[in-house]
A = this chain, B = another copy of it.
Amino acid sequence: MVKKHAPPRSAPTLSDVAQEAGVSTATVSRCLNSPERVVESTRQRVMAAVERLEYTPNFAARAMVAKRSYTIGAIIPTMENAIFARGLQAFQDALSDQGYTLLVSSSAYRPELEAAQIRTLVARGADGLLLIGHDRDEGIYDYLAQHRVPALVAWSYAPDARSPSVGFDNRSAMAELAQHVLDLGHRRIAMISGFAAGNDRARSRVLGARDAFIANGLDPEALRVVETSYDFEKGARAFEEIVTQQPDVTAVICGNDVLAAGALQEARRLGIAIPEQISVTGFDDIELAAVVSPALTTVHVPHREMGRQAAHALIAMVAAASQQAALPDVSQCISTKVVSRASLSPPPG
């Protein structure tokens, strides 16, 4: 059996298929996009040709004429730990259900990198963007507005912010957790926080902890806060610093589970019993929180739910934008709850 043609030197195009099926390119296009508009017999002929050539439409060409890429961009601070993984996975799942593709990049918590990545994603034709937290240059929001690319903020709910958001109230969530700590009788408390600059989630969590102090008639400045990066090892170092400089502390509130896990490990190294001597709490309730020993009392964030809701919200925004319609109000506050595990107990004595 002889091949009719030499194998194609590059991917088959619409007109290759048209030729193979003996129809026009328009008909092939219709078969693919609105099959009901073409009669059964020709459709079969066309589809057979599509199969035979293993034709796949060229995305760039399609995006150019449709002025939509069905691509959503997401920029997360880090892929290195699980903080964003689960939520992002749910986000992606919901997106692909709707025929969208997700483009992810990570900024390593560096604002200037995030700005560059936003431009890249917009240039790549992203129909919409998912961003983490509200803190960024006003100019970025201007840029997005000018380019008519809707952006949704997740992991942080703030109804009055420049961008709509699907997230949770970091401040009140942490306040609730801190209240638990205070209820148990702790008074000498320290906090290991992520860097507050450029990170509204970290800032809100500190504020929330102080809120609880105030609500209990305590001086909010009595809460000593050590700032560091969200890194396991950094959590360990911060814990060491705290117990060295403030040996009478009975509870250490951590900005997230990763920091708390680091604190736990350092405590073990120093021979400090958790929670007997010092209680430790986390935030996020990632898998790690249940695995470490003792398991972490933490704030449970329904990441999957948040990711799913964020996807629906962003798609709604994109749909509105593509019709030049006003952006719908999609903001949503996802509720969190405190999960009590072994790392938190009443203070000694």
A-side residues, CB < 8 A to B, are: 7-11, 54, 56-61, 63-64, 67, 69, 71, 78-82, 85-86, 88-89, 92, 96, 101-106, 119-120, 122-125, 143, 146-148, 232, 261-262, 264-265, 268, 287-288, 290-293, 324
A265 lies within 8 A of B290 (CB): yes
Bound form: Cα–Cα A232–B290 in Å? 10
B146 lies within 8 A of A54 (CB): yes
Closest Cβ of chain B to A289, distance in Å, is 11
Task: Contacts A58-B64, A80-B89, A291-B265 given; indicate if A105 touches B102 (C-beta within 8 A).
Answer: yes
List 28 A–B pairs whose Cβ atoms lie within 8 Å, in order of A's numbering: A9-B324, A54-B146, A56-B119, A57-B123, A58-B64, A58-B123, A59-B123, A59-B124, A60-B61, A60-B125, A64-B64, A78-B89, A79-B79, A79-B85, A79-B88, A79-B89, A80-B82, A81-B85, A81-B287, A89-B106, A92-B105, A102-B105, A104-B104, A232-B291, A265-B290, A268-B293, A291-B291, A292-B292
Bound form: Cα–Cα A240–B56 in Å? 48
Task: Contacts A105-B92, A292-B291 given; indicate if A60 touches B57 (C-beta within 8 A).
Answer: no
Closest Cβ of chain B to A60, distance in Å, is 4
Bound form: Cα–Cα A61–B59 in Å? 10
A147 lies within 8 A of B265 (CB): no
Closest residue of B by beta carbon distance from A7 = B146
Closest Cβ of chain B to A54, distance in Å, is 6
The one of B56, B60, B63, B147 in contact with A147, judged by C-beta atoms closer than 8 angstroms, is B56
Interface centre among A79, A288, A293, A324, by most chain B C-beta atoms within 10 angstroms, is A79
Bound form: Cα–Cα A250–B65 in Å? 65
A56 lies within 8 A of B122 (CB): yes
Bound form: Cα–Cα A288–B290 in Å? 12
**Residues on B with beta carbons closer than 8 Å to the beta carbon of A292:** 291-293
**Residues on B with beta carbons closer than 8 Å to the beta carbon of A7:** 146
Bound form: Cα–Cα A101–B148 in Å? 22
The one of B101, B120, B143, B264 in contact with A103, judged by C-beta atoms closer than 8 angstroms, is B101
**Residues on B with beta carbons closer than 8 Å to the beta carbon of A143:** 54
Closest Cβ of chain B to A96, distance in Å, is 8
The one of B57, B67, B148, B293 in contact with A293, judged by C-beta atoms closer than 8 angstroms, is B293
Other A-B pairs beyond A8-B146, A57-B123, A64-B64, 19, CB < 8 Å = A7-B146, A10-B148, A11-B148, A54-B146, A56-B119, A60-B60, A60-B61, A60-B69, A79-B85, A79-B89, A80-B82, A82-B82, A85-B85, A101-B120, A102-B104, A102-B105, A232-B290, A262-B291, A288-B291
Nearest first, the 9 A-B pairs at minimum CB distance are A60-B63, A60-B64, A293-B293, A60-B60, A56-B123, A59-B124, A79-B89, A261-B291, A79-B85
